[in-house]
Chains A and B, each alone.
Chain A
Amino acid sequence: MDQKQNLRACPEGIIFEVIGQEIVVISLATGTYFSLKSPASTIFALLESGCHRSDLPAKLNDLYSAPENLNVEQIESFVDQLMSESIMEYCKSNDGKGFDQGTIQSLAVPPYQTPVIDKFEDMQDLFLLDPVHPVVSTESTKKTEEHANQ
């Protein structure tokens, strides 16, 4: 674990938005999409806003009013998963502009549960498809061809 560097969403090919109380993350490189519900969404938002991973337990403790089931190892494991899925990566500097405080608080919906990533791979084929369809010459395109060849 790098204790000095911050994490942020991978700039290449990862896009995300808050929809209701979830954060949806889409990998443009693979077509995989992820749904992060509370507290996974809160952790993602905190990291994206410049919070260091070692500060996550304290921040979550505040946001969820000291939940009894807050488990540091589970948080670490979740952050590792964000990295192994290429959703987040270490960066030298994170400007902390990711999410405003109000959004982070609205994502922190109690009760606190084990953070999980819901991963969906069912649309990968569509994303990887270059829409090359069967082609048949038609009257209009034949005329075009004739005209073009004149």
Chain B
Amino acid sequence: MDLLDLLFANVTDRFYLIPSQGGHHPITIKLANKLVSIVSFNKTVADSYLRAIRHLEVKGLPTVTKVAKERPLEDDEFDYDGEDDIEADPLVKETDVYEDLLDLSDFTILLIDSQSTEILMPEMDFLSTPRDQPRKAFENEEGTIIATIEGEEPALSIINFRKRLALLWLPTVSQIPGYQLAAPLRTIFNWLLGDSGIQLIHAAAVGDRSDGLLISGSSGSGKTVTSLACLEAGWNFLGDDFVAIGPGKDKGTISVYSLYCTARLHRDMAKKFDLPEPAVTDDKSLYFLYPKFAEQFKLEIPLSRIFMPNISKGSTSTHRLSTADVVKEIMIPTLAYLPGRERTTLKNLTHLVSNFPCHSVNINDSIDTIPETLRRLTLMSLV
């Protein structure tokens, strides 16, 4: 057994210690082509942390009735590191809600926080990387478990493909940064979708009738402004920062899948749009676009074009991106934000850009003109 197998066993055992009186709060979402159940143990945590994926919620599934069952705890159950660092409560019941949910869905994710459950995270120093090195994900020998940590007070993301179970363990829920609330669980989503050829990508996406447009570019390039301009013009909206791409319904097609119903942008820029009140303001303000724009959310649309906007005062022009630019604007940001399974990520992104040429578009800075410019370019034959 290697360290990741032990870590997974350790975190699931700690999960059994969570007092059952807090209840469990499962939701089931349609994540691209998978049904995923997410269980949290604090309603307020569920309401705030999972708000960005509420538009993906699938309602009307059978209700889970069996929540907990008695299970005698083994004497050595928590002694993976040779230290008795957790005292087993004789009244603790094994919560097997996730096992029930596995019967209903393709994957289950447990959302746990140390603050409300008062259960400490396990020791996971071996997952740390020095500050001057990129964040890394670790995989066990069999490739069945992946884990990574992120943040100053590290949150743990761990997935076990064999058990179809993942956990996100947050140290605290009182100060979740806006970028996490805007795109929660993205690392786990990327891992669990990756095997079926569906890839998270750092890009916005909108839909004009049956044309899905991927709006790529590194942070600050204008993805959010472009996608919000299209939203205000009545287009479909799929996401402003992270979406998924993968095989579509028809053979040989590629679709874009919505993941998050959020938009993050500077407040001054946000004044140009009719947005709801921001939920969080840190370096940017976070806006939840659902349910206000519920009718314009589309969960899947066939991909037609990839554009990289450059909002400027000049006139509209377009040119095809070089391979180096594609790597810089699409591949590197996606790889940087989504550690783990990098070879699969690069392969999936290569498949995408090999099938869809990417064009840089200089767009006049008048927001009203953006949708019409993109519509015109979509209809044109670009070289």
Hey, which bits of chain A sit against chain B, CB under 8 A? Answer: 15-20, 22, 24, 26, 28-29, 31, 33, 35, 118, 120, 122-123, 126-138, 140-145, 147-149
B327 at the A interface (CB under 8 A): yes
> In the complex, how many angstroms separate the beta carbon of B87 from the nearest chain A beta carbon?
22
Min CB distance, A92 to chain B, in Å? 20
Q: Is B138 an interface residue, CB under 8 A from the partner?
A: no
**Which residues from chain A contact B131 at a C-beta distance below 8 Å?**
130
Q: Please pick, from A127, A133, A149, the residue contacting B177 in the complex, using a CB distance under 8 A.
A: A133
B25 to chain A, nearest CB (A): 12
Which of chain B's residues have a CB closer than 8 A to the CB of A133? 177-179, 282-283
The interface of chain B, by Cβ under 8 A from chain A, is 42-45, 47-48, 51, 113, 115-116, 131-136, 150-152, 173-179, 218, 279-283, 323-324, 326-328, 331-333, 335-337, 342-343, 346-347, 350, 353-354
Shortest distance from the beta carbon of B347 to any chain A beta carbon, whole Å = 6
Residues from chain A with a CB closer than 8 A to the CB of B353 are 19
Whether A134 touches B282, Cβ cut-off 8 Å, given contacts A19-B350, A26-B332, A141-B173, is: yes
Known: A127-B332, A148-B113. A18 touches B323 (CB 8 A): no
- Measured CB to CB, the closest approach of chain B to A150, in angstroms, equals 9
Chain B interface, DSSP helix/strand/loop, else mixed: helix
Complex Cα distance, B326 from A16, in Å, reads 14
Select one of B43, B336, B354 contacting A31, CB under 8 A.
B336
Contacts of B132 in A (CB 8 A): 128
**11 more A-B contacts (CB under 8 A) besides A24-B323, A148-B42, A149-B115?**
A15-B343, A16-B346, A17-B346, A17-B347, A17-B350, A19-B350, A126-B332, A126-B336, A130-B135, A141-B175, A141-B176
Taking a contact as CB atoms under 8 Å apart, the answer to whether A144 and B173 are in contact is: yes
Contact B280 A136 (CB under 8 A): yes
Q: How far is the CB of A40 from chain B (nearest CB, A)?
A: 13
Given A136-B281, A136-B282, A148-B115, are A141 and B174 also a contact pair (CB < 8 Å)? yes
Q: Which residue of B lies closest to A37 (CB)?
A: B323
**Which of B174, B218, B342, B347 is within 8 Å of A126, CB to CB?**
B218
Give A146's nearest chain B residue, CB to CB: B44
Give chain A residues whose Cβ lies under 8 Å from the Cβ of B324: 33, 35, 118, 120
8 Å CB contact of A127 from B44, B51, B134: B134
A19 to chain B, nearest CB (A): 5
B44 contacts A129, C-beta separation under 8 Å: no
Complex interface: chain B residues within 8 A of A141 (CB): 48, 173-176, 280
Partner of A18 from B134, B178, B332, B350 at Cβ < 8 Å: B350
Q: Which of A31, A120, A127 has the most chain B CB atoms inside 10 A of its CB?
A: A127
Q: Could you give 9 example pairs across A and B, Cβ below 8 Å?
A: A17-B350, A26-B346, A28-B136, A123-B333, A127-B336, A134-B177, A135-B175, A136-B282, A148-B42
